[in-house]
Amino acid sequence: MRNKLLTAIPLALLAVTAIACSGSGTGTTKGPGAEDGTPAASGQGTPATKHGSSETKHRKSGHTIVFKVTGNGVSKANDITYGIGANQSQDNGAALPWTKKSHTDDSVLLLGLTAQSDGTSGSITCSISVDGKVAVTNTSRGQYAVVTCNKDM
């Protein structure tokens, strides 16, 4: 009986934690990259919405997340992996600077961004902004450098 109880307690705690972290079960996370914020060729422009239009949507709740990768002496990333929670996406061979904009109504944020430079010498920098404020930034240098930004909020 005691062994069953010792096994049941951690499993019950895990279940409660999973339910608490998932919210009401009706999450409205749009997923990473739901809104493509890649600037126009001129380097300026309005970020596109998830439907590809340049119309700006006004949101009253939730969080706006901006994932960004830039390079100094590096013009391309071999790969960029980014996401909110378990929703991860990847862009391969992306031109720098690279930006993705997303929106989530989740109250607990687990944000991640990892990028690898294309093999040229230089530096590659990642940053994650939440509601217009930089939450984390990091830089790596060298050929095939890997940079990671993670933030739990």
Q: 11-44, pLDDT tens digit by residue? A: 443 333 333 333 433 333 344 545 544 433 333 3
Q: Which residues pair with 63 in a beta bridge?
A: 104
Q: Is there a contact between 107 and 113 (Cβ–Cβ < 8 Å)? A: no
Triad 97, 131, 56: Cα angle to 5°: 75
Separation CA 89–CA 145 (nearest Å): 20
Q: What is this structure's pTM?
A: 0.63
At 127 the three-state DSSP class reads: strand
Indicate the domain borders of the chain: 29-152
Separation CA 87–CA 84 (nearest Å): 5
pLDDT digits (tens, 9 = 90+) for 50-92: 333 333 455 468 999 999 999 999 999 999 999 999 999 999 9
